[in-house]
Amino acid sequence: MDYSGKTAVITGAGSGIGRAIALRLARDGADVQVLDVDSVAAQQAVQAIQAAGGRAKAWACDVTDADQVEQVIADVVQQASRLDVLVNNAGVASIGSLTQTNSEEFDRVYQVNVRGVYHCLSSAVPRMVEQNGGVILNLASIASLVGIKDRFAYSMSKGAVLTMTYSVAIDYIDNGIRCNCICPARIHTPFVDGYLKKHHAGHEAEVFEKLSKYQPIGRMGTPEEVAALVAFLCSDDAAFITGTAYPLDGGVTSLI
């Protein structure tokens, strides 16, 4: 993909899937703006990009803070003159059924996964309208498409991401803005390893294998595979694609 001359903002890009997306788009020529609540992780991602010959800048940004998001996006546009790509990747996980999810946990997930996406869209879309074009890619989940046991709050939030994607796509199609989302199944990130260590100490390998086999293809996806799909959907090669949710799930939604 050719992203030469394009500016891409990626939230939650300090680690995991977001970092892989930042590295991929930078490799393809984009000027990558790495946003993360963890400023150290953001800077480390930028250093990795620069070491590979790419261009990137780190921004400390808490997506739950509307004023902070607006200021960062404003500064990015002021420096780069454009905002070509927004990838809403920042998010948090939550495990538990309805009765296992208290109001504090529900609000925590909502603030990051729903309001965080809303804040970024609210800051980016008007600027894309002004420049008559742009691409938005939201990270949803297979939890947006099918029922997953013990993921009540998480499913709620990713369902909202899916429908926000549809709304933005139809509302701004005449402004040259495309908006899609990706719905991954389990992706092997540091979060997965941390979860296994915390909740299944001494049985990590056994549980990892079980989680991997949830995908009919027999394994988890990789952050790089997510990044490859992002790179395509945000590129000019995907100019005819908008308002679409792409499962990236090793066969979960079609074979189970």
d(CA 144, CA 81): 34
| 91 in Cβ contact with 155 (< 8 Å) | no
118 is catalytic: no
End-to-end CA distance of the chain: 33
Considering only the C-alpha atoms of the chain, give the largest distance between any 2 of them, rounded to a whole number of Å. 55
Per-position DSSP letters for 172-221, written without gaps between them: SGGGTEEEEEEEE--B--HHHHHHHHHHSTT-HHHHHHHHHHTSTTSS-B
Which one is catalytic: 3, 110, 154, 246? 154
Both tokens of residue 255? 């074979």
d(CA 237, CA 73): 26
Q: Could you list the active site residues?
A: 154
